[in-house]
Every structure is written in structure tokens, then in C-alpha cells.
Amino acid sequence: MKNSVLVTGCSGFLGWNLCRWLVKNRKDNHTVFGTYNRQKFSISQVQTLPLDLTDETAIAQALQRINPAAVFHLAAAARPNWCQTNAHISQRINVTAALNLATQCADQEIDFIFTSTDLVFDGLRGNYSEDESVSPVCLYGEQKVAAELRVSDRHPTAKICRMPLMFGAAPPTSASFLQGFIEKLRSPEPLFAFTDEFRTPASAQDAAAGLVIALEKTVEPVGGLRCLHLGGPERLSRYDFAKKLAIALALSPDQVQPGLQAELTMAAPRSPDTSLNSQRAFALGYQPGFVEHRLKTVVGAL
Ligand SMILES: NC(=O)c1ccc[n+]([C@@H]2O[C@H](COP(=O)([O-])OP(=O)(O)OC[C@H]3O[C@@H](n4cnc5c(N)ncnc54)[C@H](OP(=O)(O)O)[C@@H]3O)[C@@H](O)[C@H]2O)c1
């Protein structure tokens, strides 16, 4: 019987959080393996190994060695601006590598969880559920859409998890937007945060629990994809979020000043409101906490 799970991208923000969640909540003595690419990394009670996912042979060797029951595929080129300006290599990481890994997992009957993004939507409406048509406005979103389709085609039982904006503790090798916000709030300068970008933020530990629910529960296909939205319970602008963060840090919310994303030019165009409707996941037992509550825990542990 297979008794291990594999997390790709354990040196990344979500991968590190998922590995920690799996170790803490481990059942049946499953061994947790995690792969990193350029940043050599170790996590207590996780067997880490290097793996460049653009190398098909290396994928095959790693799967043969680990023989996992399930793969959580979190490794990605996850920065939209970088993807926009590095189209070729980001395509190889976000689409080709995901497809190769999913194909080998399908051939070996290994369960597969793929992490996509709320940025598959154009954000003109918000509150998106799984049955709505995708409409990405940036290359990163387009790559995730292509990967969702190709992974599902090659591995029909693969679960596609669309992740929201996530926050939480981070490893030294990565960060969430939270770390930058905290640094700014603790400086003498104001933090300018967008009032015109809305998301459904979730803590990374809650999102990790959601990924495990996706693995364990039956997810019926919607439009050909076994897709789950893992958004948080509330729609917030980055400005609203930053105010809650200032309060959690016992700082004045007046240090947060309104800014407009629409006035900034970034390499990747941004969707204004990619809030997710995650009722489907909630019905399966996914219970992400409200930002205010989760920030208390995260800030309390700093
Ligand atoms: N963070 C968010 O708020 C957010 C929101 C929506 C969706 N997501 C999705 O959630 C997943 C995790 O994102 P994240 O924020 O945790 O990303 P991250 O912190 O940027 O980490 C990316 C990970 O991918 C690995 N990686 C990159 N290229 C690789 C390659 N060629 N071969 C093997 N591994 C490679 C990196 O390894 P090294 O660092 O060792 O090179 C790192 O471990 C991604 O699918 C992302 O699209 C994230």
C-alpha cells in the first residue's frame, strides 16, 4: 500500500504551509515528501528533494523513488508580472510541467491536486462560482486556464483547486503579500493599498486544509473539470485588508492610505474583482476563517 504524499514547491509559500499542515495533521503515518527547485530547503518531518519539473526524466525518477499515493502540485511561476515578461519559461513551468506531471500520475494511478488561481477570471463581476466561464486578462491566468484543461484531459480524476489571495506565515525562501504589508506598516511611511482590487483572501493554513478536503472528497465535474474554489468567507479590497492588519498589529489604521490599482502600470493587466464563490467547497467541509480572526493568529505568532 502506498503511504506517502508528495508536495511540489515546498520551498514556496503555499507548499511550505501545506507541508506543515500535513505534518501536524498527519494520518496513517503517511510520509510527506516535498520538492524544491532552486532553493535548497528542509522542513522538519518532511523529506525534501530537488526536482526541476521542466525535466520529464527527473519527474519519472522522483515518482519512482517516492511512489506517492497523491501529488499536490503547487510548484509554479506564480508572479503574474514575471510570467508576462518571461512568457516562454513561465509556459514551460505552468503548463508543460503540470501536464507532464499529471500524465505520469495518471499512468501510475496517483491522485493529483492542481493549484490554479482566481486570476482565471477577468474580474468584471466578482463572486465567481465554478460553473462560470473563465476569462483571463493576463498571461499567468491564461497559462493556468490552459493547464486546468490539459491536466483534466490527461488525468480525468485530477482536482483543480482555484486558490484565492492567501496570507500567512512564510518560509525564508518565499513570502505572501502580508510580509511586505507588515514591513511597510512598521516603517514611518504610509502603506498605500488598493481600494479597487477585490479578492476573497484566505489564510494559507486554511487553504492547505482545503487542498486536503479536495483530495479526500468526491468532487463532481463542472463543465468537464473537477473544480473547487477555495476562497475565504469575505470579499475585501486590499485596502480593507490592510486596515484589519494594522489593527491586528496594534497600529493605527490611519497608516493605511487609499491607492488605485487602475492608476498603476504593471507588466500584467489585473482583474479588478476576482472574488470567489466557494459554496461548493464549504458544503464539503472547507471552513476558512474570517480575515480579522486569522490575522490575530498569524500576527500573534510573529
Ligand atoms: N500566493 C498566492 O496568494 C496564490 C494565489 C492564487 C494562486 N496561487 C497558486 O498557488 C500555488 C503556490 O503558489 P505560491 O505563492 O506558494 O508560489 P511561490 O511561493 O512563488 O513558490 C513557487 C514554488 O515553485 C517552485 N518552482 C518554480 N519553478 C519550478 C520548476 N521549474 N521546477 C520545480 N519547482 C519549481 C519554487 O521552487 P524554488 O523556489 O526552490 O525554485 C517554489 O517552491 C501556485 O500554483 C500559484 O499559482 C497562489
> Is the pLDDT at 62 greater than 90, yes or no?
yes
How many Cα atoms are found within 13 Å in the side-chain-facing hemisphere of 24?
10
**Residue 86 near ligand 1, beta carbon < 6 Å:** no
Q: Model confidence over 252-296: pLDDT tens digits?
A: 999 999 999 999 999 999 999 999 999 999 999 999 999 999 999
Instruction: Judge contact between 101 and 59, C-beta under 8 A.
Output: yes
49: part of which helix (H) or strand (E)? Answer: strand 46-50
Radius of gyration of the chain (CA): 19
pLDDT above 80 for 126: yes
How far is the centre of ligand 1, averaged over its atoms, from the C-alpha of 77 (Å)?
Answer: 6
The residue to mutate among 10, 11, 271, having the most atoms of ligand 1 within 8 angstroms of its beta carbon, is 11
The minimum-distance atom of ligand 1 relative to the CA of 118 is 6
What residue type is assigned to position 247 of the chain? I
Q: pLDDT value at position 260?
A: 96
- Using CA of residue 123, residue 128, residue 130, residue 133, what is the dihedral sign? negative
d(CA 17, CA 224): 29
**158-193 pLDDT, tens digit each:** 999 999 999 999 999 999 999 999 999 999 999 999
Average pLDDT estimate for 146-157? 98
Rounded CA gap, 277 and 274, in Å?
10
Report which ligand 1 atom has the smallest distance to the Cα of 93: 31
Q: What's the whole-number average pLDDT of the chain?
A: 97
Identify the pLDDT of residue 29: 76
Assign a CATH topology to domain 4-166+202-229: Rossmann fold (3.40.50)
What stretch(es) of the chain map to CATH 3.90.25.10?
171-201+234-273+289-300
Write the residue with the smallest CA distance to atom 47 of ligand 1.
Answer: 78
- Ligand 1, atom 21, residue with closest C-alpha: 12
> Looking at residues 66-83, what average pLDDT do you find?
98
With a threshold of 0.85, does the pTM exceed it? Answer: yes
Can you tell me the mean pLDDT for 78-82?
A: 98
- For the purposes of burial, counting CB atoms within 10 Å of the CB of 271, is it exposed (0-12), middle (13-18) or buried (19 or more)? buried
| Mean pLDDT of all residues in 211-236 | 97
Q: How far is the C-alpha of 223 from the C-alpha of 148, rounded, in Å?
A: 12
57 secondary structure, DSSP code: H
Measured torsion, CA atoms of residues 266, 124, 118, 156, in degrees rounded to the nearest 10: -130
For CATH 3.40.50.720, the residue range(s) in the chain are 4-166+202-229
- Ligand 1: atom nearest CA of 176 is 1
Average pLDDT over residues 228-251: 98
Q: What is the pLDDT of residue 18?
A: 98
CATH architecture of 171-201+234-273+289-300: Alpha-Beta Complex (3.90)
Q: What's the pLDDT tens digit per position in 3-43?
A: 899 999 999 999 999 999 999 998 767 899 999 999 999 99
C-alpha separations of 247 from 9, 54, 235, 244, 299 in Å: 32, 43, 18, 5, 10
Our CA angle for 213, 9, 134, nearest 5°, is: 60
* Residue 73, phi then psi, degrees to nearest 5: -95, 100
Q: Give the Cα separation of 261 and 272 in Å (integer).
A: 8
**pLDDT score recorded for residue 1:** 72
Is the beta carbon of 54 within 6 A of some atom in ligand 1?
Answer: yes
Mutate which of 96, 116, 117, 274 for ligand 1? The one with the most ligand atoms within 8 Å of its CB, which is 117
Ligand 1 pocket mutation, candidates 55, 134, 174, criterion most atoms within 8 A of CB: 174
Q: Could you identify the atom of ligand 1 that is nearest to the CA of residue 51?
A: 33
